[in-house]
Structure formats: C-alpha cells, structure tokens
Amino acid sequence: MGLTIAEIRDNTLRARHLMQRSRQQGFAVGAFNIDNQETLIAIARAAQKLNAPVLVEVSQGEVEAIGLDNLRDMVDNYKKEYGVEMYINLDHSPTVEACKQAIDAGYEFIHIDISQANHDASEEEIVAKTKEVVEYAKFTGALVESEPHYFGGSSNVHTEEINYEEIKKTFSTPESAKAFVEATGIDTFAAAIGNLHGKYPVPKELDLELLGRIREAIPCQISLHGGSGTPLHFFEDAAKIGVSKININSDMRYAFRTVMEEELKAHPDEFAVVKLMDKVKDAVQAVVEEKIQAFGSAGKAVV
C-alpha cells in the first residue's frame, strides 16, 4: 500500500531531523543493504535491541529483484512491527529516472550516481543530472546524495590487495567537494578518503585528517561508502569528525553466505530452507549491532 504525500513528507522531515541530530551529537547512522527478507529482519532486530536509527538501502539490482514499491512496503511493515526508526536509501542509482521513481515511492534518501553506469561520465553531466534529481526531490523533501566521480571497488569479497597508490588518485579534496556541493545543492556528499566497496584481505585505512578538512569545507552531510572491512576505530573517529551516514554491505553478505553454507552442510536432508535461517539472521544481526556500536548511534533513535 502506497504512502500519501503527507506521510512521505513527514518521513523525510524526520529523516532530515535525524541527520541534524547526527551532526549535533556526533554519531553516524548505519545504512545497511538488503537483498532478502531475512537481512531486513536482522537489521530491524538490531535496531530494536540497540534503540538505534537505521537506513535500509537497496541498489538497482536489488530494486529489480524485489521491486521498488515492495521494498517500501516491507520496510514500513517491519518498522511498525519492531517499533524502530528506519528509512530507505536508494543506493548508487545510475539514472535520473530511477531516482524519480524512488522519490515518488516515498524513499527518504536518494543517491544519484551517474558514474556508476558510465565510469567516464564528465563532471558537467554528473552535475547537471544530480541537480535535476535535487530539484525533483524538493516535492517530497527526500535527501539527495552524490559525488563528482566514480567510486571504486564492488560489494563482494576480494582476494587482491588494496592498491592505495591508485585509490589515492580518486580521493576527495576539500576544494572539489565544496565546488560540487555548491554546484548541485545536494544534502549529502559521498566522500572518498580510503573507503572502498567490498571486503579485502587487508584492513582499509581512512585518511581522517583529509576527512576533517572536507568537513570544514562543506556545510552538508557527509557519507562514507564501502564501510565493510574497516577497523572500527576509524568509524568512531569519523562520526566524531562529522560523518552522518556509513554504508555497510559486504560484511553482512559474508556473514549471511558463510553461515548459510554451514547450515546447509549441517542439515543435508532439510529442503525447507526457511527452517535453516535462524542462525543466518543471528549472524547478520551481529554484524549490524557491531557497526551500530562503532557508529555511536545506539540509543539515538526517536520513534
């Protein structure tokens, strides 16, 4: 069942208040990807247990698999069932049209990422299309996030080492961040400071000094993508510096798949897979709880 415009605007206003609280109180909100119902339940349970606000996020592939409106309904149902503060973030949406559809469906957070579909997109094209989404989002009040160039890695488990010399070439700078925010009017800037999509065999390292300079340069919110595989102390410091949103995906997927494989091996004669999901959900919930604690968002929900 779809939301009314009044309900959507109330949700987006609450989402904006959450981002303001995160800055004022020095915590970050976890944005956790889902591609199935079990993962959504794990997020809701973690949010309830720790009284933490959370974002449930979906990329284009997950939208295609589950359905834009279905996801809206699922999140609303579990938000009500568990009594939690929970919002939806459209993550790395590659087109303006897809963003507009999510805004119409009542998504509170929209990430327009033109370079996701075209890694060679010009900054002029990225700015123009981001501005179009920003203008469209004003009708509901949805918060719009973007960045001026392609963000590397993939939400998977990688075997290769991280080539930081190459990664540093794509780091954000205070000057470019300021120019992009001013040109587009976005609510959230996706910073690149060593964060990288995916889970790697070595820990990631965040340039917190650079983050501090970016924070001083721009007035809007800052998000960090590619949070998986990052030592927790980086998150604690980033939240204090002024990051409002941190994305987690690969760590959850790794927990889901490894425990699922263990359960399948332990129960070779069980074909009702739903009966094997309790430990899987517990494993994903543990990942979400760990991140919430590191982000400083436990106890910060307003329901």
Which of the residues are catalytic? 91
Give dist(CA 26, CA 28) in Å, integer: 7
* Phi, psi (rounded to 5 degrees) for 123: -65, -35
Residue 37 and residue 273 in contact, taking contact as beta carbons nearer than 8 Å: no
Rg, the chain, Cα only:
18
Write out the two tokens for 16. 């904006």
* Residue among 98, 43, 99 nearest 281 (CA): 43
Cα atoms in the Cβ-side hemisphere of radius 13 Å centred on 222: 31
Largest separation between any pair of C-alpha atoms in the chain = 60
Q: Which of 78, 92, 100, 96 lies closest to 33, judged by CA? A: 92
Say if residues 244 and 23 touch (Cβ distance below 8 Å): yes
